[in-house]
Amino acid sequence: MLKITQFILGLFVCIWGLNACKAPLHQKDELYIVCTTGMVADAVQQIVGKHAKVVALMGEGVDPHLYKATTGDLEKLYEADMVFYSGIHLEGKMTQIFKKMSRTKPVIAFGEGLIHEDLICIDSANHVYDPHIWFDVALWAKAVAYAGKQLSQIDTVHRNSYQQNLGKYLNELHLLDSLNKVQLQTIPPSQRLLITSHDAFGYFGRAYQIEVKGLQGISTVAEFGLRDISELVNLIINRKIKAIFVESSVSPKAIEAVVKGCQSKGHQVVIGGELYADAMGAANTTEGTYIGMVQANVAKIVGALR
Ligand SMILES: [Zn+2]
């Protein structure tokens, strides 16, 4: 009997020891905000400044359409005081988690801040909308303003600071939007065709008057077929397009097939670079911020198509 008691006691000490060794996710008195994509986390961080700890679950090169929460993510989400995500079914595999979690804490989608008229409708019968809202900078600014309003209502103690930070960030975003327009206008109209791995750039095209074609459709879940490739090859040849693009969060093999298809018909098209689509660049680099990623994309697109 004594041996069993000792064993159970030992087991308790072991489990307690393991938990005690684990580093806490955040300081006890600190507001802890968990976000899905880097773009969402960056915006939230800009608004809260030093008043909260903000973490992003999805890092560099991660595809949010296919992303499934890991055990570590679930720990963070359960520990969080607030959760922010992009929404409009971008994080398709996490929908159930958000639904469940919203019963116990604020779970806010940036997309909730936009009305249907703002969005690109993909399938009107089933009310499906394009989730890539961050590529129209003015539209993203609207979603950021909504997130800022929610933060100010939940954490009222820091409301003034949040509103001040939000105003400053929105000014930066509106400046970025104006600069994008000026730079992209320098591409000759006949060359304003942006071909990428998947349809992430619909809002970008609408905002900056560039025709956009993706090989893989709106979600990377869809497979591309041979028909899509031959259609794109003909379009590139007819329009004498010089460059097409790969994306940081999608496999480049489909776009490489288009380049080969053009070459076999005697038209030279190059890969104009890797665009940041559904994920930002590496942390602690310029491209690891929302503004930096947009600027990097615009510079690559203008450089290759002009
Ligand atoms: Zn996407």
Quick: pLDDT tens for 216-275. Answer: 766 666 666 666 788 889 999 999 999 999 987 777 888 888 999 999 999 999 999 999
Give residue 20 CA to ligand 1 midpoint distance, Å: 40
CA of 157 to the centre of ligand 1 (A): 36
119-136: average pLDDT: 95
* 197 CA distance to ligand 1 middle (Å): 9
Cα–ligand 1 centroid distance for 201 (angstroms): 9
Lowest pLDDT segment from 111-120, 223-232, 260-269, 280-289: 223-232
Å from CA of 8 to ligand 1 middle: 51
Average pLDDT over residues 139-166: 98
> Separation of 200 CA from ligand 1 center, angstroms?
5
Q: Which pLDDT belongs to residue 9?
A: 56
pLDDT at 217: 67
The whole-number pLDDT of residue 285 equals 97
Ion ligand 1: protein residues whose beta carbon lies under 5 Å: 200, 278
What pLDDT, on a 0 to 100 scale, did the predictor assign at position 224? 62
Mean pLDDT on 278-301: 97
User: Distance between CA atoms of 100 and 19, rounded to whole angstroms?
Assistant: 26
In the predicted structure, residue 19 carries a pLDDT above the cut 60: no
The answer to whether 31-177 and 182-305 have equal CATH topology is yes
For residue 154, the model assigns a pLDDT of 96
Contacts of 190 (CB under 8 A, 6+ apart): 239, 240
**Which is higher by pLDDT, 17 or 144?**
144
Where in the chain are the domains?
31-177, 182-305
**CATH class of domain segment(s) 31-177:** alpha beta
Mean of the pLDDT values across residues 139-168?
98
Q: For position 216, what pLDDT does the model report? A: 77
**pLDDT tens-digit readout, 29-75:** 899 999 999 999 999 999 999 999 999 999 998 999 999 999 999 99
What is the distance in A from the centroid of ligand 1 to the CA of 225? Answer: 18
Q: Ligand 1 centroid vs 198 CA: distance in angstroms?
A: 7
Instruction: Give domain 182-305's CATH architecture.
Output: 3-Layer(aba) Sandwich (3.40)
Average pLDDT, the chain: 91
What's the per-residue H, E or C state across the chain? CHHHHHHHHHHHHHHHHHHHHCCCCCCCCCEEEEECCHHHHHHHHHHHHHHEEEEECCCCCCCCCCCCCCHHHHHHHHHCCEEEECCCCCCHHHHHHHHHHCCCCCEEEHHHHCCHHHCCEEECCCCEECCCHHHCHHHHHHHHHHHHHHHHHHCHHHHHHHHHHHHHHHHHHHHHHHHHHHHHCCCCHHHCEEEECCCCCHHHHHHHCCEEEECCCCCCCCCCCHHHHHHHHHHHHHHCCCEEEEECCCCCHHHHHHHHHHHHCCCCCEEEEEECCCCCCCCCCHHHCHHHHHHHHHHHHHHHHC
Between the CA of 17 and the centroid of ligand 1 the distance, in Å, is: 43
C-alpha 218 to ligand 1 mean position (Å): 6
- What's the pLDDT score for residue 8? 59
pLDDT at 142: 98
Q: Which long-range contacts (CB under 8 A, 24 or more apart) does 115-123 make?
A: 118/142, 119/88, 120/202, 120/203, 120/206, 122/218
How confident is residue 3, by pLDDT bands cut at 50, 70 and 90?
A: low
Q: Is the pLDDT of residue 5 over 70?
A: no
pLDDT of residue 254: 81
Per-residue pLDDT of 179-217, as tens digits, reads 999 999 999 999 999 999 888 999 999 999 999 988 876
Q: How many A from CA of 87 to the centre of ligand 1?
A: 12
- pLDDT cut 90: percent of the chain above it: 78
Q: Are 82 and 105 in contact (CB under 8 A)?
A: yes
Instruction: Quick: pLDDT tens for 85-106.
Output: 999 999 999 999 999 999 999 9
